[in-house]
Amino acid sequence: MANMRTPQEILDTEQKLVFTDDTFKLFQDLMFQKAGVVMDEQSKTFIRSRLKDSVLKKQFSDFRDYYYFLKYDRDKETELSRVIDLLTIHETYFFRETLQLDTFSDEILAEILERNKSHKTIRIWSAGCSTGEEAYTISMLLLEKPEFKDWRCEIFATDISPNVLQFARKGVYTDNSFRGVPQAYIDKYFIKENNGYRVKDQVKEKVTFFQINLIEPQKMFFLSEMDVIFCRNVIIYFNLDVRKNVIATFHERLKPDGFLLLGHSESLSYITPEFELRHFKKDMVYQKPVRSLDQAIQRSEGRKGALLEPGKD
């Protein structure tokens, strides 16, 4: 008890932590290199407040020493994961962006039902799934469709943060995750527990969680032939080059005719012309055109043709 510090002493220690502008730049670079996330010039206070406890816990008095620890220590990987987790935004909730979800459930699923009827399999990727609400929402929407009852429904849910994935696998949620969810869904798909609501097994069963960093496409070999990719409220944190690379990966991982669902503040303007914007009744959604392959062949044949044209040297 004699060693217990007063709140004022704790505050003084925190305030004495040295965090220069140069060190702030090192953290900005670190987040960009490791996660592709751009932290703007205003985020110094945010980084300070999110990381001060970690710096103090390691008994450093300067953020720069903590940075070198993250760069060179033997245990750096675990601590780095914590830092990425602390500095990324994980905001999410069930049934987020209902008009887009209505489009998915009423129109997109109907097309896939017809298109995949010979093999009765649907593959969906929730990229940047955070604590799992998005992936479980997709699972509930599929369960609401009796037509998919005897289908193999695979939902791959990925995030860079092991922490949010651990939470997602547990599948126990509090009120904050249920903003605006119809009570009927809560009654049907959740079990009330002391500390929240547990997702029922039938919802969990369709979803598999994996740790995937979207800027490391070489680790995504199993994420292929997707019918739909949800990547909502993730690319806003990347710069243009990273967005281009991530979207190119999605293009490659989607089947021809596959759908890409972004967040409402996100678009593919300036990123790629390789997707078409499909207008549905309630929303607009990007789709990988079947003709991309044909076009590519035509383009390359066109180039060949131009080279072979007689009379030109």
Ligand X SMILES: C[S@@+](CC[C@H](N)C(=O)[O-])C[C@H]1O[C@@H](n2cnc3c(N)ncnc32)[C@H](O)[C@@H]1O
303 class by beta-carbon count within 10 Å (0-12 exposed, 13-18 middle, 19+ buried): exposed
CA distance 231 to 256: 18
Among 87, 112, 138, 160, binds ligand X (CB under 6 A): 160
Complex with ligand X: residue 196 or 263, whichever CB lies closer: 263
Residue at 65: amino acid letter: D
Task: Check residue 165 for interaction with ligand X (CB under 6 A).
Answer: no
Task: Check residue 91 for interaction with ligand X (CB under 6 A).
Answer: yes
Task: Check residue 36 for interaction with ligand X (CB under 6 A).
Answer: yes
> How many Å from the N-terminal Cα to the C-terminal Cα in the chain?
90
Q: How far is the CB of 82 from ligand X (least distance, A)?
A: 12
277 Cβ contact partners less than 8 Å away, ≥ 6 residues apart: 268, 284, 285, 286, 287
289 Cβ contact partners less than 8 Å away, ≥ 6 residues apart: 256, 257, 275, 276, 295
Residue with tokens 């869904």: 185
Buried b vs exposed e over 151-172: b needs ≥16 C-beta within 10 Å? bebebbbbbbbebbbebbeebe
Task: Check residue 92 for interaction with ligand X (CB under 6 A).
Answer: yes
Task: Check residue 164 for interaction with ligand X (CB under 6 A).
Answer: yes
Task: Check residue 137 for interaction with ligand X (CB under 6 A).
Answer: no
Task: Check residue 103 for interaction with ligand X (CB under 6 A).
Answer: no
Among 23, 124, 159, 226, binds ligand X (CB under 6 A): 159
Task: Check residue 109 for interaction with ligand X (CB under 6 A).
Answer: no
Task: Check residue 248 for interaction with ligand X (CB under 6 A).
Answer: no
Using the contact rule CB under 6 A, the part of the chain among 72-80, 116-124, 126-134, 146-154 near ligand X is 126-134
Chain residues binding ligand X by CB under 6 A are 35-37, 88-92, 96, 128-130, 134, 159-161, 164, 213-215, 232-234, 237, 263
